[in-house]
Amino acid sequence: MKSIVIREDIENLQKLIPLSKLLDILEVEIIESVMLEGGGKILLEVVGRYASENEYYMAHIINKEGTSCMLLMSGDRILNAECHRPDGGEIPVNPELIKGLLYSSNVRKLDMYRVKSPFVRWAEKYNIGVEPLDTVHRNMFEKFNMVIKYILDGELGKMQEAFREAYNASIAHFELEEKLQDKCMYDKRKKKSHVKRHLEFKKLMDKLASTSHASQFVKLLMDLYIYIASYLDYMLKEDLELAEHLKKCLGKDGD
């Protein structure tokens, strides 16, 4: 395999965007668990089997003393890392520490995880059958996916711009939904519930929009994703009910 490239600024990035905090908003699935005796070359071979530039992976490495490190990877690049002593205390990361770990014969166990996008599999699941609304929902999910991508890549400048696009896509979704409710004279009590949800969502996004520090941005983004998870449950119930009303009013595709 090609040699692995470690970000030179990985120590600073870990302080700004702690990997353990990212795991609170990411979905991962384990794809291999290996007990190692040879370390070094064997470790690199296992990591290399999953290196894909189109996907993100995490390697959880534990040495014989119980020290553990989690590495976030894309292709042959290590983008972020977090290491802990056996007692749980955090160890500052740097390229030399990670390089030493990868080539160490002291490694005992390696778990490989695939990182899943928070929204990709939800987009189809939450289609409600009204094309204009399904379109803005998909666009909103895609924009938030880009925010996560830039966070994972450590592209801090692009991260904030991507969030502004996600913000605008969310507002467009709220406005269209409320416009269609008015046009089709949707039940006032039910519309009030929708608008309340929209305002709650917007309030969280406004906090993010006014935040310039990366670590605070990630913390607030986690709060937003917790809300999004509950919002999607609401979409599945209340938006499906709205969809049936809109189909009667607008036609089969909601045009």
pLDDT in tens, 22-38: 887 788 999 999 888 76
CA distances (Å), origin 128, targets 32, 113, 150, 246: 36, 32, 29, 10
pTM of the predicted model as reported, rounded to 2 decimal places: 0.82
Please, which pLDDT band fits residue 40 given cuts at 50, 70 and 90? Answer: low
Question: Looking at this protein, which amino acid is placed at residue 125?
Answer: K
For the chain, the domain total comes to: 2
Domain shared by 57 and 72, yes or no: yes
Domain shared by 105 and 168, yes or no: no
Residues 6+ away with beta carbon under 8 Å from 30 = 111, 112, 113
Domain shared by 104 and 210, yes or no: no
Tell me the average pLDDT across 200-207.
Answer: 88
Domain of 125, CATH number, reads 1.20.120.50
CA distances (Å), origin 231, targets 7, 22, 128, 189, 200: 36, 20, 14, 18, 10
What residue numbers bound the domain in which 194 lies?
Answer: 120-250
Domain shared by 110 and 126, yes or no: no
As to burial, measured by CB atoms within 10 angstroms (0-12 exposed, 13-18 middle, 19+ buried), residue 6 is: buried
- What percent helix, strand, coil does the chain show, rounded to 5? 55, 20, 25
